[in-house]
Amino acid sequence: TDAYIGAIEATTSLNAYVLPTPDKARAMAKASDEKLAAGQGGPLEGVPLGIKDLFCTEGVRTTAASKILGNFVPPYESTVTANLWKAGAVCLGKLNLDEFAMGSSNETSAFGPVLNPWGSDNRRLVPGGSSGGSAAAVSAHLCAAATATDTGGSIRQPAALTGTVGLKPTYGRCSRWGIVAFASSLDQAGPITRDVRDAAIMLKHMASVDDKDSTSVDLPVADYEAALEGSVKGKKIGIPKEYSIDPMPEELAAFWKKGEDWLRAAGAEIVHVSLPHTKYALAAYYIVAPAEASSNLARYDGVRYGLRVPGEDIIDMYESTRAAGFGDEVKRRILIGTYVLSAGYYDAYYLRAQKVRTLIKRDFENVFHQGVDALLTPTAPSPAFEIGGKQDPVEMYLNDIFTVPVNMAGLPGISVPAGLADGLPLGLQLIGRPFDEAGLMPLARALE
């Protein structure tokens, strides 16, 4: 813990942490030492973790990287972080992210962008987003592992851009209670780690059914670490042809091919499959996610949380608070969301997007029914890009092209570092059957 606190203090230039909590960390580590000395202690006893600042932490400021939460100090702990502390983990502090987890580059944070440790002073690169702080911190050894969340790719894409492992579990595997909501039917918590084994260990201690989240699922949480030893022999891996985008960057195609070879060498059978509705996933996601966000963000009214800007009357107060408290990207999402939900447009946009979502889910069900165990795809269409390099929101949204369908279908996905192109990491994604995170483990291992 001391070593990590030292590293965090020496590496503030990355802007990965919005709130280091060294005193809390030392106190927790001391308690862990005492437990271990007494021959007790949990499975994660003394392991120092970074926490994405979207998870509510009791008595520790939680901001979602938004000005509107101000100095909000939650009086309760999220279920996922509570599970981790119960297992013995130590809290190093809160990690930067895109405001309300809306973004793919960590540039929408009210605390400013996070730098990708793979960049340099003359090449300032994004770490991906929205879990950019989590990915940068893990990559730069500023924590042993980090929590993150994934609504449309925010665990997997930053993992790919920083050479780390990002695991998005099946929707319902981890409780969403105490995680600041973005799009509730898509949000899911998971770990960003240095390798697949750490991801397996972290997931085991993050996952649980929870009375406080009715969408969390009461299924046994497997021993994912033991599952790493599972056999790859005879596993059927699907390569979905629709993930060959046009134009397909050469190095991406090359690594995708290598991924096939690695899995084949480990004994898997490669089959070519089709997910015909893939091309509509991004458009449908950018209707469903903003719709849910516009509803979730209605609670930030200047009364219940953090920031309040006084006004002449209550409506004026609401408007002034929201105008000052939300950043541009969040406002854009609220505008899109309220528009697609409004009378006259609901059927044309929101309802249609929900129907497309069902078709996307069925595409995956069909290939799994054909006996496919998992799918292999690239994680992101490009390696880390320069800060300020993508100004057009639609261009930014295109980053999520390979990750969004997985959220729309609620499936588990893991991004594993595949290698370097021009000195920058690229990731490969494995997509699994619902609640079969254990089945992904040996496959992910074969890609490492």
Known catalytic residue at 154 = yes
User: Of the two residues 88 and 190, which places its CB atom closer to ligand GLN in the complex?
Assistant: 190
Peptide bond into 247 cis (omega under 30): yes
The least CB distance from residue 47 to ligand GLN, in Å, is 25
The least CB distance from residue 141 to ligand GLN, in Å, is 24
Reading the block at residue 263, the tokens are 């899995």
Reading the block at residue 284, the tokens are 């449908």
Out of 139, 154, 208, 415, name the contact with ligand GLN by CB under 6 A. 154
User: Of the two residues 34 and 386, which places its CB atom closer to ligand GLN in the complex?
Assistant: 386
Reading the block at residue 287, the tokens are 């209707």
Segment interacting with ligand GLN, rule: CB under 6 A, options 35-43, 152-160, 263-271, 410-418: 152-160
Known catalytic residue at 355 = no
Site for ligand GLN in 386-405 (CB under 6 A): 400
Cβ atoms of 188 and 405 within 8 Å: the answer is: no
Reading the block at residue 337, the tokens are 């969301």
Per CB under 6 A, 151 contacts ligand GLN: yes
Give me the residue label for tokens 């999402």.
Answer: 333
Per CB under 6 A, 102 contacts ligand GLN: yes
Per CB under 6 A, 410 contacts ligand GLN: no
Separation between Cα atoms, residue 90 and residue 1, nearest integer Å? 8
Distances (CA, A) of 102 to 35, 150, 300: 40, 10, 16
Q: Which of 78, 104, 109, 130 is catalytic?
A: 130
Out of 150, 210, 225, 363, name the contact with ligand GLN by CB under 6 A. 150
* Residue 189, beta-bridge partner list: 149
User: Of the two residues 93 and 152, which places its CB atom closer to ligand GLN in the complex?
Assistant: 152
Per CB under 6 A, 104 contacts ligand GLN: yes
Segment interacting with ligand GLN, rule: CB under 6 A, options 150-158, 196-204, 297-305, 352-360: 150-158
Quick one: residue 222, left, alpha or beta (phi over 0 = left, psi -120 to 50 = alpha)? beta
Per CB under 6 A, 182 contacts ligand GLN: yes
Separation between Cα atoms, residue 105 and residue 271, nearest integer Å? 33
- What is the chain's length? 448
Q: Which of 66, 78, 154, 415 is catalytic?
A: 154
Residue type, 291: A
Cβ atoms of 66 and 326 within 8 Å: the answer is: yes
Out of 18, 80, 82, 101, name the contact with ligand GLN by CB under 6 A. 101
The least CB distance from residue 289 to ligand GLN, in Å, is 5
Known catalytic residue at 52 = yes
Please state whether beta strands 424-432 and 17-20 pair in parallel, antiparallel, or not at all (unpaired). Answer: unpaired
> Would you tell me which residues interact with ligand GLN (CB under 6 A)?
101-104, 130, 150-154, 182, 289, 400
